[in-house]
Amino acid sequence: MSEARFEVDPWTIGIHGLDADRLAHEESVFGLSNGHLGWRGNLDEGDPRGLAGSYLNGVFEEHPMPHAEDGYGYPDAGQSVINVQNGQIIRLLVDDEPFDLRHGELTSHSRRLDLRDGTLTREFDWTSPTGRRVSVRSTRVVSFTHRAAAAVRYEVEAVGGACEITVLSELLANEPLPIVHEDPRVQDLLTEPLETVEADVVGDRATLIHRTRRSGLTIAVTMEHHVDGASAATTTEADEDLARTTIRARLDPGERLDIVKIVAHEWSSDLSAATLRDRAETAADAALADGWDRLVDGQRRTLDDFWACADVVVEGEPRLQQAVRFALFQVFQAAVRAELRSVPGKGLTGSGYEGHTFWDFEAFVLPVLTATAPHAAEQALRWRHSTLGHARDRARLLHLDGASFAWRTIDGRESSGYWPASTAAFHINADVAAAVLHYVRATGDVDFERDYGLEILAETARLWVSLGRHDADGAFHIDGVTGPDEYSAVVNDNVFTNLMAQLNLRGAAAATRRHPDRARELGIRGDEPERWDAVADAMHIPFDHSRGVHPQSAGYTDLERWDFEATSQDQYLLQEHFPYFDLYRKQVLKQADLVLALHLAHEAFTPEEKARAFEYYEALTVRDSSLSASAQSVIAAEVGHLELAYDYLAEVATIDLDDVHGNTHEGLHMAALAGGWTAIVAGFGGMRDTAEGFLFRPRLPSRLARLGFGVRIHGETLRLDVTQTATTYRYSGGDPLRIRHFDEEIVLEGAEVTMPTPALSPPGARPTQPAGRAPLPAGEAFDQPAGEPG
């Protein structure tokens, strides 16, 4: 875990000074995105850097999938995100000295990510080795209003004496990702994935068009500039992998050169290079015509609208306030203009996980988007719908009915070669279905349910019927599957999977009855809804009566427990020190599995069952996954262990700002960032989505004086203001909204309603974790020294 270094401020993430060893971490934190386009927070001049990063959502290179031994159904091709043409680069020469942070004298250097303006600002003061001094301010945006465009405003001022300024503004292709693969076929493809199609210059506008060598995707990137503030000479040239605009000016003391650089990005799998060039150049022209001030104003207006509902207000914990806003900002910007794309596990902030989307998008990220930016959630669900063709093909390959969504993918095709964790992890299909059901209940979007949701629900329901079996007593079992926990694999009757499949089946049957005409168009047979309900009713949910808990899967509680006392702390992550076959046959959890079911299928458990199960699985969960702490926080709060829930919240809230897992340099943990919001809203807010409407059970840990948050329900905003003793509800809608506050139904209609918080029954002794795996106390996580705002 890295020491916290960012200034504590409620609306910004800032840092003073420069540490080359931490650049990769900071580049992820300072990454900007709009869901279509992502720029890592690289320094303008491109060097030094940790990892170069310019990404387009959905752009990847395909490569052979090496297998130790071939097997039926194994994917034969993998997918990896690549860097597209990089338009971030702006190099500076003062007289004839190249600006380099490692030479000359750097008097000051700071960077600041503004969570309300959607800008990344960098300021530095530098004296060249020959004594020429300049002050530079660089401000960067990835536009929310111009989907294809990013922009940089680069201002150079001469300080103390006159100087000659040369700015080299570049587009650079084939910057390698830090991927080293043992298969030279894969390494060669990923080292230089782009082949040149065109390199065009018209006046001072340059466009590079490239195509991926194997996946056949065409990418066009255009750059244009507006120069102001000094008499400058400008020339532009382009070659296969490099376009450069050179801007030269002489500055007198106090004089400033002001450059606005617009970079527009388009890509397609089927459009011609000429069409993409026209689109990219048109997008650049439109952004340049709007001008810098309008671009920045568009960022602020978009974020003002988002924060009006989404903002979480925390009193009593400044670092938590900052961290939760940072998390919400990152989740929002990862999806706001994705438009028929998903959110990869790292968003567009790094190349970790090879740029793949996993099940945790639907399980962790989509609930946050549904509650705060439902338009983005709808687009992401429509992307899943667009991959149904691949999902149907995958199901047929596996000799199953319906559709089987990819566990790990970029374009909808399965891209994991490790089948116990991918092919067998069928729960992803129920996770997608659950996201559909939650989105429709929260938004009331009947059109989406009819046009897209029903088909997803029906095809996944068909999968479950063909995947499972009835025993002699009529109970329905799902054998040979892998649940969320990655230290267990290929088990029978995983409780999470069975319960989520049950919700999927019932949801599909109900949606079919709501849309009979659409059901007929989709070829849903008249007897299928009844069968889906019957299978859901017969679903076997194992229970260990001797221990009084649900086993994670059939027979799980009878397995030998992992020897935690004999496991040293330097042997975590366990997967890096022990063979999977040993992990698979012991009681040890990488991440919440049954505990996640306690949240997402909450109506299937009694309060007593939740309390016993949480205690049991706390003693087995080592949290080698970033997905675990938020689920554990939610259930800890529900069963009354508010301080333990707060400790878990501290871990998930600081996961990237403090680099808790030591791998933020690969990109941010988008699902964990979303999990921080969930730990607050579903944990301390007690929010649950039920068939009868929304339920809230708000309670605060001792360190929080007040908590406020908002969610969108049917297009309107419901805000909660929670104190230690009461909760005030405010609803912006004109129609009455019925919700439950603990066990009492209330109707929100115009006026705010304040409800008292019932007394908390003592929850018993605090559950224990495996030796050395307890979460860091929140006080240590939130109170450790960090920078102060400038």
Give catalytic residues, as residue numbers.
Answer: 486
Beta bridge partners of 719: 710, 730
Distance between CA atoms of residues 574 and 737, nearest Å: 48
- Residue among 311, 118, 324 at smallest CA distance from 717: 311
- For residue 755, report the phi and psi dihedrals to the nearest 5 degrees: -125, 140
**Cα 114 to chain center, whole Å?**
19
Q: 731 forms bridges with which residues in the sheet?
A: 718
What's the gap between Cα 509 and its chain centre? 31
Cα(218)–Cα(441) distance, integer angstroms: 39
Query: What Cα–Cα distance (Å) separates residue 718 from each residue in 22, 693, 753?
Result: 40, 13, 11
Between CA 539 and CA 461 the distance in angstroms is 13
Q: How far apart are CA 685 and CA 312, in angstroms?
A: 11
| Residue labelled with tokens 């029906």 | 458
* Cα–Cα dist 606/394, whole Å: 37
Identity of the amino acid at 506: R
How many whole angstroms separate alpha carbon 26 and alpha carbon 23?
Answer: 5
CA distance 288 to 294: 10
Quote the crossing angle between the two packed helices 374-386 and 318-335, to the nearest 10°: 50
Q: Which amino acid is at 696?
A: F
Q: Are 393 and 455 in contact (CB under 8 A)?
A: no
The conformation of residue 771, written as its DSSP 8-state character, comes to T
Residues 101 and 758: their CA atoms lie apart, in Å, by 58
Q: Which pairing describes strands 256-268 and 218-228: parallel, antiparallel, or unpaired?
A: antiparallel
SS3 annotation, 392-445? HHHHHHCCCCCCCCCCCECCCCCCCCCCCCCCCCCHHHHHHHHHHHHHHHHHCC
Burial class (CB in 10 A: 0-12, 13-18, 19+), 3: exposed
Among 488, 464, 491, smallest CA distance to 476 is for 464
Alpha-carbon distance values, 586 to 489, 562, 580, 736 (Å): 11, 6, 10, 52
Measure the CA angle with vertex 500, ends 481 and 348; round to 5°.
85
- Sign of the C-alpha dihedral computed for residues 676, 308, 11 and 53 taken in this order: positive
First to last CA, the chain: 25
Per residue, the 3-state secondary structure of 632-661, as one string, reads HHHHHHHCCCHHHHHHHHHHHHCCCCCCCC
* Sheet with 194-202, edge to edge strand ranges: 12-16, 105-114, 119-127, 133-142, 149-159, 256-268, 218-228, 205-212, 194-202
For residue 330, the number of C-alpha atoms closer than 13 Å in the C-beta half-sphere is 37
Q: Cis peptide before 777, with omega less than 30 degrees from 0?
A: no
Cα–Cα nearest to 508, from 557, 460, 553, 463:
460
Of 106, 465, 317, the residue nearest 783 (C-alpha): 317
Q: How far apart are CA 768 and CA 762, in angstroms?
A: 17
- Kindly provide the b/e burial profile for residues 116-153, where b requires at least 16 CB atoms within 10 angstroms of the residue's own CB: bbbbbbbbbbbbbeeebbbbbebbbbbbbbbbbbbbbb
